[in-house]
Structures are given as C-alpha cells and as structure tokens.
Amino acid sequence: MRRSIPTRQPTRVRTLLAALAVALLAAVPTAPAQATPAGGDDLVVMTQNLYVGTSLDPALAATTPDQLVTAVAQMYATVQYTDFPARAEAVADEIEAHGPDLIGLQEVARWTTTGPGAPAGYDFLAILQASLDARGLDYSVAAVSENASIGPVPLALPGCLVPTPPFVTCTVQLDDRDVILVNDDTPGLRWDDPRSGRYAAQGAFDTPAGDISFDRGWASIDATLDGQPFRFVTTHLEIAAFPEIQQAQAAELLAGPARGGTVIVVGDVNSAADGSTTTSYAQLTAPGKLRDAWDEDVLGAGFTCCQRSNTPPLAPGALNNPVSTLDHRIDLVLSRGAARSDGSRAELVGDQPFQGAPPFWLSDHAGVVAEFRL
C-alpha cells in the first residue's frame, strides 16, 4: 500500500504517446461530462501505539516505598535505553513512506524530570513532530486525550543521589496521551470539533504511592473528505487483566464516539482478534457494529503485539529482542457507515527491526495502515 511514484518515460517515448493520445481523442465522439460518483474518495489512516518506553510492571508490583523507588529508577533507565528519539525517526520514516491522511496514536508519553542532576525528560509528541518536520511533512495535532498522570515520584538515578536528606534530589512524572494527527497536505480534507473523554469504567492498581489508574480515554474529530462526512476516533482500552472493565469501555466506545453515521475507529483495544483473551473484539465487530479493515483470510494473522524482552537490570520491555515476539492482533482499524474497505487494503508497519542494534523495534506494537473508500 505504499504510494508509488510514476516512472519517468524518455522524452521521445512521451512525445510519441502524446501524439497518439491526441489522434485517438480526435477520433472519439465527444460525450457529456460525467460527474465523479459520490463516495469515490480514498482515505489512508494509520494507528500506532508509540510505547511509553518501559514496562510499568516493576512499579505496579512494588509493595514498599523502597521497592517503588528502586522500580522507578529501573524503569526510567529502560526509557533512556529504548531511546524514543531514535524510535521517532523510524515512526516518521513509516509515515513518510505511507502518507496517511489521518493518524491515531496511543501511549504518546510525556516523561517530565525535575531536580538537581535530573536526566533529560522526553515529550514523545514534540519529538515525533520534530522528526516529521525535518522530512517536510505537515501534520497538525487535531485532538488529544489526556489520560493517566502518574507522579511525581523520586528518581534515584546517578546524579540524583546525595549523602544527606533528602538523599534523592530528582523526580519523574509520566503523562499518557492519545493523539490524532491530520495531514495538512491532503487535498479536500477538512476537520473540526476536536473532542476527548475518559471512560467511566476504569481499572486501578494499589501501590505504595496510592491507587494508580491509567484513566483510559479517546479522542475524536469530525471531518470531511471532498464533502463526504465522517468521524475519526483513536482510543486505548484497558489491558486484558481487567476484562470486565475493558469490555465496559468497549460498550462505552460504541455508545459514544463510535455511535452512528460514518465512523473510523483506530487504536489498541487490548483484546485479541482470535477471541483468546477478552470479548471486546467480538463486541466491537458484532453485526451492525464496526467492520474490521484487516481480513485475516487475505492478509494473514497480522500480529501487532507485543515485543517482549527481559534483560536485568533493565525493566521488561527493553526492545532488545532481535527476533520478533508478536503473537496476537490487538491494534485495529475499524469502520462503519460509508467508510468501506474490502479487508485487503491494509498492512503492518514497524513489524521489522529498524536498525541493527537495540532498540531493534520502533515500538513494542506494530502499527496498521489501511485504506478506505468513502
């Protein structure tokens, strides 16, 4: 589905073809001009979970304040190791190659560090936008869902440790977002009414710092392509460890931003398409609900999750597994109404290593690009 560039013909060939075309046109009777049929517009969309850069499991497993401080240091060292600036270049390469008109992103992290000796923080959205700008790509931030905000918590990394109280001079905070990007260079594409929301159903983890929730949500815009209206939604549902909450969020999605009209929904639903984890995929794709743009009979399994590694002293999820461990499909492009796909015009992105040294993968998820006819 990569957009191709026509091959130039030699000048002599082009001249002969032009002359032949003129002769043929002169011999054909003139017919009344035909209007382009309504709904004949192609729209390319992309979904990508950017990955916060570390597993959060060490912090969620901590039972004492000391364990939590140790876990946070391990996790942020992993964030540094997984090197989002390098991964953002790979994401921008995929965007440049496929030219999506709309992009739904999940886990668009903002890591904020403070204090004397603190290591650099990372704003994934700003970093990715800089990579896109460097390629001359014009993508605007259209809508943002502000999800979890965790911290600030002590960050006990070298440079932040002193022999006297408070002993740890640095803190770190994680803010999670879902984001919609719009290609400003797409002819005929207009958008407005950016919205976002959080689901009423939410999971929570009990930690020494108190209960932590990922505050899952969604972001949407209303858009038109050459006058054809549709809504575009990105979302990130709860993990499969909370099946009832995830399934309640899927029901909220269907009853809320994905309700009625022509809708395209992209995101990480955390529900395996083969039904092996939760019923959320079946809920979303039930008759009369949303259609999956990925036809497994045509395109294969299309696994998008997850790259796994466990290399102490780093936290799990260091992206240093040279062989892919993707084994189920949870990142989806879905639609209803006049947004039509035959299920074969989609492909994975980021399912191959982007470089020869860690981090090997642009995310722990592969992304999906799909094309629709409106």
Mean per-residue pLDDT over the chain, rounded: 90
* DSSP helix/strand/coil, 33: coil
Quick: pLDDT tens for 340-372: 998 999 999 999 999 999 999 999 999 999 999
Q: What is the CATH number of the domain that holds 164?
A: 3.60.10.10
216 within a domain of the structure (yes/no): yes
29 within a domain of the structure (yes/no): no
Percent of the chain scoring above 90 in pLDDT: 85
Q: Label the pairing between strands 228-236 and 263-268.
A: parallel
Predicted local confidence at residue 211, as pLDDT: 86
Predicted local confidence at residue 210, as pLDDT: 83
Distances (CA, A) of 250 to 39, 129, 221, 326: 28, 30, 19, 23
15 within a domain of the structure (yes/no): no
Task: Output the six-digit token pair for 286.
Answer: 């039930």
Task: Say if residues 232 and 214 touch (Cβ distance below 8 Å).
Answer: no
- Ramachandran bin of 192, using left for φ above 0, alpha for ψ from -120 to 50, beta for the remaining angles: beta
Quick: pLDDT tens for 123-176: 999 999 999 999 999 999 999 999 999 999 999 999 999 999 999 999 999 999
d(CA 75, CA 62) in angstroms, rounded, equals 12
Question: Dihedrals φ, ψ of 340, to 5°?
Answer: -110, 140
Number of structural domains in the chain: 1
366 within a domain of the structure (yes/no): yes
Predicted local confidence at residue 23, as pLDDT: 37
27 within a domain of the structure (yes/no): no
95 within a domain of the structure (yes/no): yes
Q: Of the candidates 234, 197, 238, which has an alpha carbon nearest to the alpha carbon of residue 214?
A: 238
Task: Output the six-digit token pair for 24.
Answer: 């043929």
Quick: pLDDT tens for 167-202: 999 999 999 999 999 999 999 999 999 999 999 999
14 within a domain of the structure (yes/no): no
10 within a domain of the structure (yes/no): no
Which residue range forms the structural domain that includes residue 85?
Answer: 39-373
